[in-house]
Chains A and B, each alone.
Chain A
Amino acid sequence: MLATSPAFKENAVHALAEPGLQKALARTKPHFHAKRASAVAALPEFEQLRDIGRNIKNHTLAHLDFYLETWEENVKRAGGQVHWCATAEDARAAVLAICQKAGARTVTKGKSMISEEIALNEHLERHDITPVETDLGEYILQIRNESPSHIIAPAFHLNREDWEESFRRAHTDLPADRVFHERRDIMTEARTKLRERFLAADVGITGANFLIAETGSSVIVTNEGNGDLTQTLPRVHIVLASIEKLVPTIEDTISLLRLLARSATGQDFSVYTTFSTGVRRADDLDGPAEYHVVLLDNGRSAMLGSPFQEMLRCIRCAACMNHCPVYSVVGGHAYGWVYPGPMGAVLTPTLIGIDQAGNLPNASTFCGKCESVCPMKIPLPKMMRHWREREFERHLSPQAVRTNLALWGFVARRPGLYRLVTRIGAAALGWLGRRRGRLSRLPLAAGWTKGRDLPTPEGETFFVRYARAQRRGRGAA
């Protein structure tokens, strides 16, 4: 997926003015907030579980090599195959090879952010294999040729009219004048269409929320059941998963699952939480004959031992973006790539480079709400600040910013000079605003004054007034 992250600012301005998106955001935000709050309130142990989750992941990451090897042994024992892929290109090639060997023409897909990250669909299509997204939200995006704007509710930005229009356009075998009385009718049409695809698919590709070392299992979490249909019906099941999905045991996974749905949608547990371990057994009546895991690194191993290691604890619940005041007004597409919101702001620069993705960690007020709702206690603002430090070191920030900062820094290090400069500044601005106490316009401050007045200072600095008060022998003015 081509990144438009460098155009974040323009994307955001556009998004702020887009009525359909704003309507969707206004509808979605309170919904996610209320649901998570109520799920968390109903589980007194939630806070303790956050600590447990963080500790499980930290432990796993500190021993990731061991757990990966153990997991691989167990996958093989269950008749599965592991394809270790250092890069996105390796992963695309591995998936393609499996599909071609299976003679696949149609491939059903459960939702997988990794598949977006490696741009899998386009690659398969270029080789005459048709990928069919089966998650309802991903399905409509595929029809509309749009990218996801949220990592668990990918099509939240669409309104009902969009669904109806897209279905009419894509499902040409159905009567063009059919009426969608209720939202249910939209869903039923998708269910019917996709059922045909599920049953016909040669290969099914899913992501994985977790990979369990103890048993060599992959875990998927869905509400629709599309992931299960994708991985059970075809002859070949491919799991696309990145290395940090590893969790040591079933019991560890359970603790993380207790955090996941509550943080994501406010459910206590998702409808289908499924653990897959290898191939169809000799006397099973259904299930895939082949089980492959395409295991992706794509920069994650490089995050270990770096200031960004803690980002590897992310379980992709989306609580951060659901609560981010910036995401809540610009939506996901503005971020320009696969991962939006606070987690995207930290992860995207590691995957596509800070020179491309610099806007993302900068477009934050560091309000800290994301960190406060993150089930894995990831210090997101701290890592965004690290990115800003990297940018600064590499002189990637705009020159004007660096110059202003340098000037200000020069003065601020010198209290005597600072006193003088501020005295002059306070007096000048105070004078300019003497009539109304504020300015509607000020040269060099257009960013501020475009949408706000600029309140002007009292006119003398604290230190001038304090010094005067001291001379008069009193502490307070």
Chain B
Amino acid sequence: MSGRDFILSTIRRNLRRGPLPEDQAAMLRGRLNSHPRQLIPARSRLPRPEQVALFIANVEKEFGSVARLADLAAVPGAVADYLAQHNLPPAIVMAPHPELRAIPWSDRPLLRLHEGRAEGSDQVSLQHGFAAIAETGTLMLPAGPERPTTINLLADTALVFLRASRVVGAYEEAWDLLRAEHHDALTGGFMPRNVMLVTGPSRTADIEQTLELGAHGPRRLHILLLDDDEAARAAA
């Protein structure tokens, strides 16, 4: 008897039934297809400006940092300033995303950017954020040719470009965006190979329960938040 047969038959025997009758199976398939939400905590059910503010507050609580930028033109300067502030070399591996390419990098010619996946030698990376979740200050970074996973992991300093319009309140809303916008050719579904939900820089508390940043992943996480959402801008 194969492992599969053994496991499935033991499960059924102990549940005192054979394979699920078709009507029950259909019901379960229906549930999978409709993937109902359960309770969504109230904490992120806020007006847009407060939602974005909550996102920022949560990122900072988790040792990340956020620079709020008025337009794309401000991005190169913000990046250059951040690197200078932290004494980091101006060499960045950048995710090959069209929106990142569209940033006017030539405004800061000293910044050296190369596109592609990250390697062990990269010190600074720039990722394009697909969405972000205010509930806990979390970035949703799905893998793809435009967003290699290694960009999230290998460099000591991880920069992430994120549009404020892509900040949602709860995780469910971010997953809804992925379901709606991403098509995976291999499976015919919406899941890419990998979706990373990232909340702050890497850390450990393994040594005497003391928090230290930069365990294996990036020690710094800096978000370049483009204020592209009129409704999300705080009242003056």
Contacts and interface: CB of A to CB of B under 8 A. Distances in A.
Given A228-B196, A285-B117, A305-B14, A223 B204 contact: yes
B189 interface: yes
B193 A65 contact: no
A84 interface: yes
B216 A62 contact: no
A283 B14 CA distance: 45
Contacts of A31: 209
B172 interface: yes
Contacts of A257: 171
B203 interface: yes
Interface in B30-49: 31-32, 35-39, 41-43
Contact of A271 (B35, B36, B144, B203): B203
B202 to A, nearest CB: 4
Contacts of B37: 251
A225 interface: yes
Contacts of A135: 206
B215 A228 contact: no
B193 A43 contact: no
A83 B196 CA distance: 25
Given A84-B4, A183-B210, A278-B187, A306 B193 contact: no
B12 A281 contact: no
A255 B35 CA distance: 12
Interface string A271-283: 1111111111111
B32 A249 contact: yes
16 contacts: A44-B41, A64-B15, A70-B28, A199-B120, A228-B153, A251-B37, A251-B38, A254-B172, A267-B62, A268-B58, A271-B200, A273-B199, A277-B192, A277-B194, A281-B184, A284-B192
A348 interface: no
A50 B109 CA distance: 54
A194 B216 contact: yes
A272 B16 contact: no
A90 interface: yes
A48 interface: yes
Given A77-B187, A226-B215, A251-B172, A305 B136 contact: no
Contacts of A78: 186-187, 191, 193
B187 A223 contact: no
Interface residues of A, number: 104
Contacts of A224: 202-204, 215-217
Contacts of B201: 271
B98 interface: no
Interface string A152-165: 01011001100100
B185 A282 contact: yes
Contacts of A285: 96, 116-117, 145, 148, 150
B25 to A, nearest CB: 6
Contacts of A127: none
A452 interface: no
A425 interface: no
A352 B225 CA distance: 53
A137 B206 contact: yes
B102 interface: no
A125 B52 CA distance: 50
Q: Which 8 A-B pairs have the closest CB atoms?
A: A225-B217, A305-B14, A84-B3, A224-B215, A301-B10, A84-B4, A304-B14, A285-B117
Size category of the B interface is 35 or more
Nearest to B12: A65
Nearest to A304: B14
B193 A284 contact: yes
A274 B149 CA distance: 11
A215 B120 contact: no
A314 interface: no
A74 B2 contact: no
A159 B216 contact: no
B143 to A, nearest CB: 6
Contacts of A267: 62, 199
Q: Which among A85, A86, A155, A223 has the highest number of chain B CB atoms within 10 Å?
A: A223
Nearest to B138: A269
B7 A301 contact: yes
B15 A232 contact: no
Contacts of A306: 14
B109 to A, nearest CB: 26
A21 interface: no
Nearest to B4: A84
B199 A269 contact: yes
B207 A186 contact: yes
Q: Which among B184, B189, B204, B217 has the highest number of chain A CB atoms within 10 Å?
A: B204
A475 to B, nearest CB: 53
A306 B58 CA distance: 43
B14 A183 contact: no
B230 interface: no
A354 B66 CA distance: 54
A269 B139 CA distance: 11
B146 to A, nearest CB: 9
Contacts of B25: 66
A319 B146 CA distance: 39
A353 B186 CA distance: 44
B187 A284 contact: no
A233 B148 CA distance: 11
Contact of B186 (A226, A265, A281): A281
Contact of A90 (B3, B12, B149): B3
Nearest to B156: A191
Interface in B113-166: 116-117, 120, 135-136, 138, 143-145, 148-150, 152-154
Interface string A251-273: 11011011000000101111111
B20 interface: yes
